[in-house]
Structure 1
């Protein structure tokens, strides 16, 4: 973005000046009282001269114009809101102090919310690092950090945020695979939520800095394979789970068989040659690794008959 000519001279927020609104409200009340007294006590009768009538009309018109002039300049700011002031298109600062304020009527005013905004994006279909189509969505909490950039550097900063959230989500989603299909310990969208959320927040902050927007929090809320490959990927995940479970069972069985042979030999319970050891290992492995309960077979003879 730094190479973009349109963003070479970004706007910068500066404090704006405004008068105390309550003081100007008192002035407004004084003008209203003056008009009431003028109409009730100074209304000229039929015997008054032309000069008196002109003076009365002039005072009444002037007080009404003053009333309208002061009334137009009032504006109110709630907590976590800001008012951007412009004079004939020129930026004159931002007022962030909450309360009642007054400024000159020819100063244009635009209110900007500095509160936190929460956006839940639509589901976006993208390809992960390995080219698998996936569906992904996120939740973003953002706020306006620089009102001048938000108002003057982009056309519609709220629409800009929505578009950049989708673009940033696509970028981060394409950096990593959905799941780890190899033995390498790599970052995945499904297994590395903290890393992916951090990358998404940094990506969005970089993209939205031009609009004076700061992202406080960003995280994935939906992650799934696209429907056309969801069935195949589910079978692959089930196969991986079965293989992993079998691997643990076999490793445990080998350890148990080794302990049993060592215990029999050390305690002198029975002397086993290599052939008998092989037979015992085979039987124990079948019992420990089988999916069904073993059915014992009673051998009335010996191993050699």
Structure 2
């Protein structure tokens, strides 16, 4: 496969000026009955000058081929004259935005998820885009879908089932985006395409397990909160006993300490407000 070759053809304004001169001369010759010379000038205008004129808009290119051979690519915007027998194919150099469709795939641990990505890409090698693949737009769509599926299979959705995972689809946004961008660049390099940015635009559990996973996340959050509350309550009880003993406010035997610890833990760890109870007796009656 030929690599891209940039060419700078001559200005089209000069060729157009010659076209006007020859057209005027042909009209004069027709009026003076010099038909042969007039026909020659007309053929030159219609066969050699006009077909060679080409306009290249900003951020566009013209890929030129002559009888099946790649001649080169015009990337500079302007008005040019090229070989009139060359075939001219316009290829845009602007950035394209691909909003991928939602795909239903399994993550690394087998959970069905829905995922979609937004990809920004542009053509960097017009020769590859024109000749290496049949249709570079379709090629981008298919390879992007394959890359997103591979991404979903490479990482777990979160740490619920794989606590040792360093990167997850939900938590490792930057790392996942870099992985997807690298994957796409490797796949699309064959078509001369460069990926400028790739990010996940949609990520969720599939509907059939979404409710169950939500309950699991809520349960995990409750357990984590309870664990933190218990650790704090134990520390507060320990501090209370130490302060009472240090200041000698009251002397507590082991049984009274146990009762006090039990009451404090109930107050500190309970999920409802506590109603005080006044004990008019003793601990033993």
TM bin (shorter chain) = over 0.9
Residue of structure 1 equivalent to 2:247:
267
Question: Cα RMSD over matched residues?
Answer: 1.4
Residue of structure 1 equivalent to 2:274:
294
- Out of 35, 43, 46, the residue aligned to residue 65 of structure 1 is 43
Q: Does 1:210 align with 2:196?
A: no
Residue of structure 1 equivalent to 2:84:
105
Residue of structure 2 equivalent to 1:118:
97
Residue of structure 2 equivalent to 1:28:
19
- Out of 199, 203, 213, the residue aligned to residue 223 of structure 1 is 203
1:16–1:85 Cα contact (<8 Å) kept:
no
Runs of 4+ in 1 over 6 A off after TM superposition: none
In 2, Cα distance between equivalents of 1:15 and 1:120: 31
Question: Shift of residue 184 of structure 1?
Answer: 2.6
- Residue 221 of structure 1 aligns to a residue whose secondary structure is strand
- Residue 3 of structure 2 aligns to a residue whose secondary structure is coil
Question: Which string of whole-angstrom CA distances, capped at 9 and with x for unpartnered residues, describes residues 163-212 of structure 1?
Answer: 00000000111011111015435211111111111110000111111111
Question: Which string of whole-angstrom CA distances, capped at 9 and with x for unpartnered residues, describes residues 243-299 of structure 1?
Answer: 111111111111222222222222222222222121111111111111111111111
Q: What TM-score does the superposition give when structure 1 sets the normalisation length?
A: 0.89
1:190–1:223 Cα contact (<8 Å) kept:
yes
Q: What are the ranges of 5 or more consecutive residues in structure 2 without an aligned counterpart? A: none
- Residue 141 of structure 1 aligns to a residue whose secondary structure is strand
How many residues matched?
A: 283
Q: What TM-score does the superposition give when structure 2 sets the normalisation length?
A: 0.95
2:26–2:39 Cα contact (<8 Å) kept:
no
Q: What are the ranges of 5 or more consecutive residues in structure 1 without an aligned counterpart? A: 1-9, 45-52
Residue of structure 2 equivalent to 1:50:
none
In 2, Cα distance between equivalents of 1:246 and 1:127: 32
Question: Shift of residue 242 of structure 1?
Answer: 0.9
Residue of structure 2 equivalent to 1:6:
none
Question: Shift of residue 231 of structure 1?
Answer: 1.2
1:17–1:93 Cα contact (<8 Å) kept:
no
